[in-house]
A and B are shown apart, each in its own frame.
Chain A
């Protein structure tokens, strides 16, 4: 980058004053006061999602890679998208920034479609070595907790007194939730988490102690419905939302008042709670502090609706942009049309507005094709990329190099 052809003597001079090389050697990056930093931020939809599902990420993946890639992203945050895609009260849609432009994006419909039509290959069976946990009760929280523990390499066994898994979910009317869908979702969850599911297993309180000896920890699922096991006195109740690590090895996570009793529309909250429990338990098992683990995993700053450049998008003429809500199943075409409407707030979707608008060709698609990168040798720090990014991904920061 820094070398250049030079003229050392008269003989090197061409007859006519013509150039030898480009200006690439010129370090215009030294002019900079502020440096553009492209970093995804948490969009309002995700901020509202109790499961923390990265909505623009899965929508972008659907558009770029198809259903399977998109489903994979959802499953990393929400193992039951077929359920949330039908039951959830979709706070994501309420927060959708597009509502300020014309109409919000039908996120739930997209998620449901992906859950129903996406193909997910579970990983090869590989016993986790991060510890051993038994979850008593196969309700949404228990299943979610088991799943996330499984993803973190913990060997998990889920037991339930009932003949079918689902816990409180089994109480939902079939018109609202087709039993076939429920079964498919749970099957996938079990396979993806590499869980051992033991149904029709009663767990009397007395057996808990023995269970606790055989596992590192026993977790009692408060959403197990009829399969719920009453917490013995020795069990430690803990509030997963307090960020405390559970003490003891028979733990009973408690739910806040607004989640008791089980309410189907709040399904995402139970899933999110299940993941919190899993994280706290995993931290406990590994001896690492929960806070440092979360810090390593946590995404960045949130982005607000005000930071999205709505003037850069065109409102669609017709108010009838989404198919009628009564329509039970959306076609792929309808889903893709909905996906196209996502503004991808805070999330780089390689629209390349920054690349196009740079007067110094100093911000480019990265070689992996996953985002953009800055040519720090040449970038003058003018800030156009940050300003022109319609979705708030790029910020100008003072970086001392």
Chain B
């Protein structure tokens, strides 16, 4: 239908339960466009395991297994081992988990798989909270971000966990950030990932109008603003050592990004300044690492 490498059947079909404007839905659509039909998806509890459809129906026409919350990377490793021992080394095993299932409850399994360098492609679609269960905080929620368990009376003090640093520390062959606002960048990164064996990790920014409290038509634009203001810069890490930023963001100030989202309504000027400061510092660190090559 759209991309040249789509096979005969549409891999992502309409009628799913995603909210209007769902960033996670876009994320999967983009991923499958590049990965193609020779893909098996391992999907834990999360927005996707609900929006995919209701038994016995599913909006995806690739094989999908809906697994227990913590087990994404472990199940994926098992599938890959099973395929390989049966002589299949071409099918992509895609671990597809949200931020909760990656940063928190699924973290151990991810670390285990990464340490073993299991040959799986792990994509974390990050909407920065436990959205499926009603917008509760995860360790991926940014500091000051409203959620139901970090309400205005008790906003989250901790910064967003830096999952990319952690994956780099595991020395995985390929890790990259990507965003639903830059589908071509994501496609290129997935193409690259598909040529590499071992644990490949993509941290994919997926806006959520319902949880972030922005108008549904702004889903892509909010992600775009996140990238351009360096809240969520796009970069790659090769073998845990070489950092490469691409493309270089425009460095717009974060005000427009924050203003578009109701979840940052409670940020007073002091917190906003702290937010900008934090973004600037992280950017400097990233820049240093990319220049160290």
Contacts and interface: CB of A to CB of B under 8 A. Distances in A.
Assess A/B contact in the complex (Cβ within 8 A). yes
Interface of A: 4-5, 7, 17-28, 31, 352, 355-357, 359-362, 364, 375, 378, 380-384, 386-388, 396
B216 A382 contact: yes
Contacts of A382: 20-22, 209, 216-217, 219
Interface string B117-141: 0000000000000000000000000
Contacts of A383: 20-21, 215-217
Interface string B58-76: 1101000000000000000
A12 to B, nearest CB: 9
Interface string B37-54: 000000000000000111
A129 B13 CA distance: 52
Contact of A384 (B12, B14, B219): B219
Contacts of A24: 13-15
A20 B56 contact: yes
B221 A387 contact: yes
A19 B58 contact: yes
A355 B2 contact: yes
20 contacts: A21-B56, A22-B15, A22-B58, A22-B59, A22-B61, A24-B15, A25-B15, A26-B53, A28-B16, A31-B20, A352-B2, A359-B26, A361-B10, A361-B12, A378-B14, A382-B217, A383-B20, A387-B217, A388-B221, A396-B217
B15 A357 contact: no
A7 B56 CA distance: 8
B202 interface: no
A384 B183 CA distance: 15
Given A19-B53, A23-B53, A31-B20, A375 B14 contact: yes
B14 A386 contact: no
Contact of B57 (A17, A20, A362, A396): A20
B212 to A, nearest CB: 14
Interface of B: 1-2, 10, 12-18, 20-23, 25-26, 29, 52-59, 61, 183, 209, 215-221
Contact of B13 (A27, A352, A361, A396): A361
A24 B12 CA distance: 10
Residue from the set A7, A355, A361 with the largest chain B CB neighbour count within 10 Å: A361
Contacts of B18: 359-360
Contacts of A25: 15, 57
Contacts of B14: 23-24, 28, 360-362, 375, 378
Contacts of B215: 383
A23 B15 contact: yes
Given A361-B12, A361-B29, A378-B14, A388 B220 contact: yes
Q: Which 3 A-B pairs have the closest CB atoms?
A: A383-B217, A382-B20, A23-B15
A386 B218 CA distance: 10
A359 B57 contact: no
A397 to B, nearest CB: 14
Contact of B16 (A19, A21, A360, A364): A360
Contacts of B22: 359, 382
Contacts of A18: 56
A396 B26 CA distance: 20
A18 B17 CA distance: 18
Nearest to B65: A18
Contact of B21 (A26, A352, A378, A384): A384
A387 B26 CA distance: 15
B219 to A, nearest CB: 6
Given A361-B1, A384-B219, A23 B56 contact: no
A381 B20 contact: yes
A356 B26 CA distance: 9
Contacts of A17: 55-56
Given A26-B15, A361-B10, 11 more contacts: A19-B53, A22-B57, A23-B14, A23-B58, A24-B13, A359-B22, A360-B18, A361-B29, A375-B14, A382-B219, A396-B217
B131 to A, nearest CB: 14
B21 A359 contact: yes
Nearest to A31: B20
Nearest to A388: B220
Contacts of A20: 56-57
Nearest to B30: A356
Contacts of A380: 20-21
B21 A22 contact: no
Contacts of B219: 359, 382, 384
Contacts of B10: 361
Contacts of A22: 13, 15, 53, 57-59, 61
B77 to A, nearest CB: 21
Nearest to A385: B217
Nearest to A6: B56
Contacts of A4: 57
B246 to A, nearest CB: 16
Contacts of B13: 22-24, 361
Contacts of A378: 14-15
Contact of B1 (A364, A381, A388): A364
Contacts of B25: 359-360
A382 B22 CA distance: 9
A388 B216 CA distance: 12
A17 B54 CA distance: 11
Contacts of A359: 18, 20-23, 25-26, 29, 219
B217 A386 contact: yes
Contacts of A5: 56
Nearest to A18: B56
Contacts of B15: 22-28, 378
A179 B220 CA distance: 55
Contacts of A360: 14, 16, 18, 25
A22 B219 CA distance: 25
Most A C-beta atoms less than 10 A away, residue of B13, B23, B61: B13
